[in-house]
Amino acid sequence: MKNILCLNKIAKIGTDKLDPALYNVGTEVENPDAIMVRSAAMHEMTFDKDMIAIARAGAGVNNIPVERCSTEGIVVFNTPGANANGVKELAICALMLASRDVVGGIKWADTLAGTEGVAKAVEKGKSQFAGVEIKGKTLGVIGLGAIGGLVANAAVQLGMNVVGCDPFLSVDAAWNIDSRVHKAATFEDVFKAADYVTLHVPATKDTKGMICEASLATMKDGVRIINLARADLVNSADIKAALESGKVAAYVTDFPTEETVGVKGIVAIPHLGASTAESEDNCAVMAAMELDDYIRYGNIKNSVNYPNVSMPMSGDKRVCVLHANIPNIISQITAALGETGANIENMMNKSKGDNAYTVVDVTGNVADDVAAKLCAVEGVYRVRVI
């Protein structure tokens, strides 16, 4: 029986995918073998030696200490694409909110409650909330993955000219992008061309603060910016200065902070991107299936810190080795297995950055101390025998 701790409320349709005969799942589970999480902060948590995986029911993993998990042999999963449609729909809403002061207009209309001549007052006062239409304007999409690709395609259907950039665009993602979306070579090319800029990239050392004084200077006057990805992609001080000067006409963000709430020109949405019943269900199901496949069979799919490795089980046992991506380690792993008298039936090794994963299916005897022997190899973080 494996223990799976839920740090947040995880949709039941997802946790129901975990066989109760094999898993003990709940919010009060002790000594977890794995964790399911949405937004709970985990950076201050310490993990027991039996912890092998964390599944984030969502795309972003900034609430998880990914690097530390890597060296502790903990696989961190996310659920790319599961909430993509929900975020896409909010992005379309954000385009409208950036174009017209709908929020300000609604707040103003509410102040007319209890007064006479509301209809007349509305006709007299509505001009202060007028805006522009998106048809014929150019939308710059930064990141053309699961969400960005859907936003780009939807914007084309709405009559916008769309230019996008994604240095890491996969072949599969590229196939799903409308042929009318122009692919730019650099982010700067997008910034120069766009009337609207929408961000759909993770927060990394290369993207944090990407919208700043320098990048804003390359954009058109009156540009409108949408950020439903991560708060720290945008420098708050610089965006406020640009709003005050008129360089930026509007900023819509799904990540309110102390610096951005209540600021004229900023529409702060309370992190609603994936807050739909459908998104939460999709993320929960995907996260549960990823955990189940890894715990039971050692297969990895959609990990942010280890490579995707998946193959049918053959042989009597499967030996799973999480290790550093360094020379000669594979030969040491196979040598250690050979010393036990086991025969290698099938094997797969892949790497992702500094980390690698080796799966070996063996027939014959697998000695009880094989995990200890493999863990003694320099660079090996964790060994599981299934």
Catalytic residue among 30, 44, 116, 258: 258
User: Quick one: which H or E segment has residue 71?
Assistant: helix 66-71
List 68, 271, 296, 384, catalytic entry: 271
230 is annotated as an active-site residue: yes
Domain 84-268: CATH superfamily, name plus number: NAD(P)-binding Rossmann-like Domain (3.40.50.720)
Q: Residue 58 — φ and ψ, nearest 5°?
A: 160, 180
CATH 3.40.50.720 range(s) for the chain read 1-83+276-305, 84-268
Alpha-carbon distance of 227 to 216, in angstroms, equals 14
DSSP 53: E
Beta-carbon contacts of 212 under 8 Å, excluding residues fewer than 6 positions away, are 234, 235, 238
Q: Are 194 and 211 in contact (CB under 8 A)?
A: no
The three-state secondary structure class of 155 is: helix
**b/e sequence 7-35, b meaning 16+ C-beta within 10 Å:** beebbeebbebbeeeebebeeebeebbbb
Cα 15 versus chain centre, distance:
20
| pLDDT tens digits, one per residue of 38-86 | 989 999 999 999 999 999 998 889 899 999 999 999 999 999 889 999 9
What are the beta bridge partners of residue 324? Answer: 355
Instruction: Give the model's pLDDT for residue 220.
Output: 98
135: tokens are: 């048809």
Beta bridge partners of 300: 309
What's the token pair of residue 109? 């209309």
* Residues 6+ positions from 288 with CB-CB distance below 8 Å: 10, 14, 15, 17, 18, 36, 55
List residues bridging with 55 in a β-sheet. Answer: 36, 77
pLDDT digits (tens, 9 = 90+) for 110-122: 999 999 999 999 9
Q: Rounded to a whole number, what is the distance in angstroms from the first to the last CA of the chain?
A: 14
Residue 87: Cβ-neighbour burial (10 angstroms; 0-12, 13-18, 19+): buried
Least Cα distance to 161 among 176, 141, 186 occurs for: 141
Cα separation of 215 and 337, whole Å? 54
pLDDT digits (tens, 9 = 90+) for 333-342: 888 888 877 7
The pLDDT value given to residue 171: 84
Fold annotation for 307-386: Alpha-Beta Plaits (3.30.70)
Residues of the chain with CATH 3.30.70.260: 307-386
Tell me the HSE value of 76 on the side-chain side, using a 13 A CA sphere. Answer: 24
Pairwise CA distance, residues 348 & 66, whole Å:
23
**pLDDT for position 60:** 83
C-alpha closest to that of 336 among 363, 369, 313, 309: 369
Does the annotation mark 258 as catalytic? yes
Residue by residue, pLDDT tens for the chain (386 residues) are 999 999 999 999 999 999 999 999 999 999 999 999 998 999 999 999 999 999 999 888 989 999 999 999 999 999 988 999 999 999 999 999 999 999 999 999 999 999 999 999 999 999 999 999 999 999 999 999 999 999 999 999 999 999 999 998 888 888 999 999 999 999 999 999 999 999 999 888 899 999 999 999 999 999 999 999 999 999 999 999 999 999 999 999 999 999 999 999 999 999 999 889 999 999 999 999 999 999 999 999 999 999 999 999 988 899 999 999 999 999 998 888 888 777 889 999 999 999 999 999 998 777 778 888 899 899 999 999 99
- Amino acid code (one letter) for 95: L
Question: Is 116 annotated in the active site?
Answer: no
Please tell us whether the domain made up of 1-83+276-305 is placed in CATH 3.40.50.720. yes
Catalytic residue among 38, 224, 230, 382: 230
Query: Could you give the CA distance from residue 153 to residue 198 in angstroms, rounded to a whole number?
Result: 13
C-alpha–C-alpha distance, residues 129 and 99, integer Å: 10
In this prediction, residue 113 carries a pLDDT of 95
Size of the chain in residues: 386
